[in-house]
Structure 1
Amino acid sequence: MALRRKIENDIKSYLSSHSNKMMIIDGARQVGKSYIIREVGKQMFPNYIEINMEADKLGDRIFAEARTVKDFYLALSIVAGDKLKDRENTLVFIDEIQAYDHLLTLVKFLMEDHRFTYIASGSLLGVTLKKTQSIPIGSIIRKHMYPLDFEEFLWANGIGNTFIDTLRESFSNRITIPENIHEKMMSLFRRYLLTGGMPDAVNTFLSTQNIVDTRQIQNDIHDLYGDDAAKYEQESTRKLKIIRIYSMIPSNMENKKKRIVAKNIEDKKGKRMADYTDEFDYLISSGVALEVKAISKPSYPLVQNSGKNLLKLYLNDVGLLTGVLYGTNITPILKDVSSINLGAVYETVVAQELRAHGHELFYYDNKKTGEVDYLIDDQQNLSVIPIEVKSGKDYMVHSAINRFLAVGEYNIHQAIVLSNERRIFEDKGITYLPIYNVMFL
């Protein structure tokens, strides 16, 4: 099934623009980068050429020595000579461009030559860019892609824009929706918690309704991320530390603080977060983990205030998390079992959603005041918006956010609590919203 993705409009706009920069769609493996570029590319160009540089590196290595524009054209003519026409009707898609560092350096010269239209994708681009010298930053438009967000998941389930626009209007005007619509939305939201946004997992679940098959795909992706770390890190001790940190994320989610504790990574006392900077960088740059940085004194813009020491890491996809935590038992998610705390799952889906909407992720941590799940910039008021995520029925119990709002110098204009509650209402400066309204933040 062809899944509709928001990034499609960006790709179409770029391919129509005759830009002198190359768009590179960056993101973790399996989020659908190659698929959406292929779909749009084939629609827009009669001569569509796709080269996967990972496959080339493992196979014929035709592009391994292509260090000049001339070399590149020669290699390209070997694989697609009959399709090479002019710029207007020939698109060259360089998939997994990071497999060859030298191609990133060559981008500037390919674009200056204007012979063909180009687009690229990269799975570990963030990692490669940090290692590669002479990167032509001015020659790249880097666009990050994430798993399907909740709105894209609704599209996949046949929910049209008219219905979503009605929900958006109720969110904007703070009007509560009817019970039956709320129940429908909660049912879809719980399914999203199961499938997450990896396209293969979503398609499998929609076509088969089989959780075993869906979980198998998610487990394979989870394993693939570990294999990637092994492939890209030559130093075996670092490789093991990356895999260890990645495997700790789900269990950290079950802790009250959810923070990474340095001494737990290798079970060594005296270890500090600074000892694992490269490992964290790998997980964050590769897109397989989402970082949430601590803020103790919030002011706009948040990025100026964050520290590196109190770091939280979330999996990049909520379906991967529910797969690890619950396996093929779907009851805790679908039936809202009161004895099961879904706090970690709800926090992960909110992190995933906020990040997909372009928000940097921060949380508030203050010894006196407590901890608030998320902070986002409030551009309208040059302030910040605290967000608390509640998975249970005690959604009005939130002492940390109350104390946070009581600090006058923070100049907070609005605060949000997301929960399963249907009613949209405001009380003591806090707006209460149904959890699925996160898609409109």
Structure 2
Amino acid sequence: MELKRDIYKNLLRWKKDDTGKVLQVSGARQVGKTHILKKFAYENFRHVVYISMAESSGEQFLQCLDKVGEWEPGTPREERPVHKAFELFDCDFRDTKDTVIVIDEIQESSRVFNLVRTLAREFDCYAIITGSYLGRLLSKEFFLPAGDFEDLTLETLTFAEFAEAFGKRELYENIDLFGGSDPVKYRELKACFELYQRIGGYPSVVNMYLEHEAWNAVMQSLGV
């Protein structure tokens, strides 16, 4: 089941604002960062360049950077080496507003992270970086380009998002917090919240429950 995430509207706002800044999306593992960013990218851009620094695509992009970094004394230097690296990585790459670059697990490469300033200041296309252990960016080999990126955080499902997955969001948003609604509605929402307390907001666990409609299936998936 496709779970609606409220961060999507913030991604759309970032695209519309077009500040030129790189977007950094942080969050713990398994909260759905890669999924929501790919969904956003492929639904809103003509061309998507996806690179994961924890997979072969990351190694391949580093090879492209190595290639454009080659130089012999007395020969012309590459004027726009980072642009050229993306062109080598993806022959269809065009530095236009129809393109978005998504770099996943950015914490695995200080070399690539340190391109953020270049992406923000010398590229016309949009760029997003994300990762699960962004605390590593505080290491001295990572240059933090203040003013060149915006930050969004994706957490596990909020109760509002959880309620929507179970068809209860309208109830959640419209119920009278001062006791003026039908008691049946309070009991219905309380049951939903108690379920949220039991299984939490990790998307894979919520989807497991929705698929099997059984608590035992969730416990088995968690190895409990």
**TM-score bracket, shorter-length normalisation:** 0.7 to 0.9
Q: Is the 8 A contact 1:101 1:128 kept in 2?
A: no
Q: For the structure 1 residues 197 and 13, does the alpha-carbon distance in structure 2 shift closer, same or farther, using more than 3 Å as the test?
A: same
User: Where does structure 1 lack aligned partners over 5 or more consecutive residues?
Assistant: 220-326, 328-441
> In structure 2, what is the equivalent of residue 5 of structure 1?
5
**Higher-Rg member (1/2):** 1
Q: 1:89 aligns with which of 94, 98, 102?
A: 98
From 140, 151, 174, the equivalent of 1:166 is 174
Spell out, residue by residue over 1:282-304, the C-alpha distance to the aligned partner (whole angstroms, 9 max, x if none): xxxxxxxxxxxxxxxxxxxxxxx
After TM superposition, give the deviation of residue 52 of structure 1 in Å: 1.0
Distance in 1, Cα, partners of 2:23 & 2:165: 26
Q: Secondary structure at the match of 2:174?
A: helix
Query: How many angstroms apart in 2 are the aligned matches of 1:85 and 1:213?
Result: 46
Which amino acid in the other structure matches residue 86 of structure 2? L
Coordinate RMSD, CA, aligned: 2.4
Q: Does 1:144 align with 2:143?
A: no
Q: Show the counterpart of 1:401.
A: none
Distance 1:37 1:102, change over 3 A: same
Answer yes or no: is the 8 Å Cα contact 2:64–2:88 preserved in 1: no
Q: Secondary structure, in 3 states, of the residue corresponding to 1:36?
A: helix
1:341-389 per-position Cα deviation (integer Å, ceiling 9, x unaligned):
xxxxxxxxxxxxxxxxxxxxxxxxxxxxxxxxxxxxxxxxxxxxxxxxx
Partner residue of 1:206?
210
Superposed, 1:298-313 pairs within 5 Å as: none
- Is the partner of 2:128 in helix, strand or coil? strand
What residue in structure 2 maps to residue 27 of structure 1? 27
Provide the C-alpha distance between the structure 1 equivalents of 2:43 and 2:90, rounded to a whole number of angstroms.
18
TM-score, structure 1 length as denominator? 0.45
Match for residue 108 of structure 1 among 117, 137, 142 = 117
CA separation of 1:216 and 1:79: change in aligned 2, threshold 3 A: farther
SS of alignment partner, residue 200 of structure 1 = helix
Amino acid at match of 2:200: G
Counterpart code for 1:96: E
Uncovered stretches (5+) of structure 2, i.e. residues with no partner: 70-78
**1:62 is matched by which residue type in structure 2?**
F
CA distance change for structure 1 residues 44 and 212 in 2, over 3 Å: closer, same or farther? same
Partners of 1:61 and 1:114 in 2: how far apart? Answer: 21
Determine the C-alpha separation between the residues in 2 that align with 1:56 and 1:198.
27
Q: Relative contact order, CA 8 A, sep 6+: which one is greater? A: 2
Query: In structure 2, what is the Cα distance between the partners aligned to 1:97 and 1:55?
Result: 11
Per-residue deviation at 1:64? 6.4
Question: What amino acid is the match of 2:184?
Answer: N
Equivalent residues of 1:31, 1:147 under 8 A apart: yes
Q: Cα deviation per residue 1:116-155 (whole Å; 9 max; x = unaligned)?
A: 2111211111x11221442112212121110001000011
Letter paired with 2:99: T
Contact 2:101 2:125 in 1 (8 A): yes
Q: Do the aligned residues in 2 keep the contact of 1:56 with 1:63 (CA within 8 Å)?
A: no
Per-residue CA shift, 1:56-86, capped at 9, x if unaligned?
Answer: 38x745326838894543443344222x124
Partner Cα distance (2:189, 2:29) in 1: 29
Q: CA deviation at 1:3?
A: 1.0
1:135 matched residue in structure 2: 144
1:63 alignment counterpart: 62
165, 172, 195: which is aligned to 1:191? 195
Shift of 1:160: 4.1
Identity rate, percent:
24
Aligned to 2:87: 77
How many residue pairs end up in the alignment? 212
Matched residue SS, 2:152: strand
Q: Give the letter aligned to residue 80 of structure 1.
A: D
Matches within 5 A, 1:119-134: 119-125=128-134, 127-132=135-140, 133-134=142-143
1:184 maps to amino acid? E
Q: Which has the higher strand share?
A: 1
Equivalent-residue separation in structure 2 for 1:201 and 1:99 (angstroms): 27
Q: CA separation of 1:192/1:218 partners in 2, compared to 1, >3 Å: closer, same or farther?
A: same
Which residue matches 2:50?
50
